[in-house]
């Protein structure tokens, strides 16, 4: 019970920390622009962490990218222009959801293809295993030889 209480306490203390990656000096005074910046940042991958958005990451490069997004918004760029600028600079990898095109087909469809290949392989293996001919019963001579061998070992 004590361990459960400690785990719940730790969780309640650490959970709010997840949203603290954006530092107060980064926040734009215009609430509309800030919301756009946060929406864009949620869709951009941290190039250091690689499994977090730049909005959630504490890496210095993520901070630089958050500041860059906010600068481009203040300059009047649209969301599409910002995404375009960043993908030209860093490639599709910077997007948490890269576009579906021939270069990213493996990324999008690879896991499904592996799952299908595994399922087909399992079905083929099971069918071959079931269709294997059962062993023929021993003939009378083989039964006598087997009994003789077993008697010698006793």
Return d(Cα 90, Cα 86) in angstroms, integer: 6
Which of 93, 71, 45 has the alpha carbon at shortest distance from 82?
A: 71
82-135 pLDDT, tens digit each: 999 999 999 888 999 888 989 888 888 999 999 999 999 999 999 888 877 777
Q: Where are the alpha helices (DSSP H) in 93-135?
A: 105-131
Check the CA dihedral 25-26-29-31 and report its sign.
negative
50-70 pLDDT, tens digit each: 889 999 989 999 999 999 999
pLDDT at 153: 86
């Amino acid at each position: 019970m004590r361990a459960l209480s400690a785990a719940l306490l730790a969780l309640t203390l650490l959970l709010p920390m997840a949203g603290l990656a954006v530092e107060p000096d980064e926040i734009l005074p215009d609430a509309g622009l800030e919301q756009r910046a946060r929406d864009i940042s949620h869709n951009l991958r941290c190039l250091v962490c690689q499994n977090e958005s730049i909005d959630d990451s504490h890496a210095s490069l993520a901070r630089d990218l958050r500041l860059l997004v906010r600068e481009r918004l203040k300059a009047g760029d649209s969301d599409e222009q910002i995404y375009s600028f960043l993908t030209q600079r860093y490639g599709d990898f910077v997007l948490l959801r890269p576009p579906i095109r021939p270069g990213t087909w493996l990324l999008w469809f690879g896991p499904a293809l592996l799952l299908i290949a595994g399922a087909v392989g399992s079905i083929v293996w099971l069918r071959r295993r079931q269709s294997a001919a059962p062993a023929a019963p021993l003939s009378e001579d083989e039964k006598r030889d087997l009994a003789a061998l077993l008697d010698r070992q006793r």
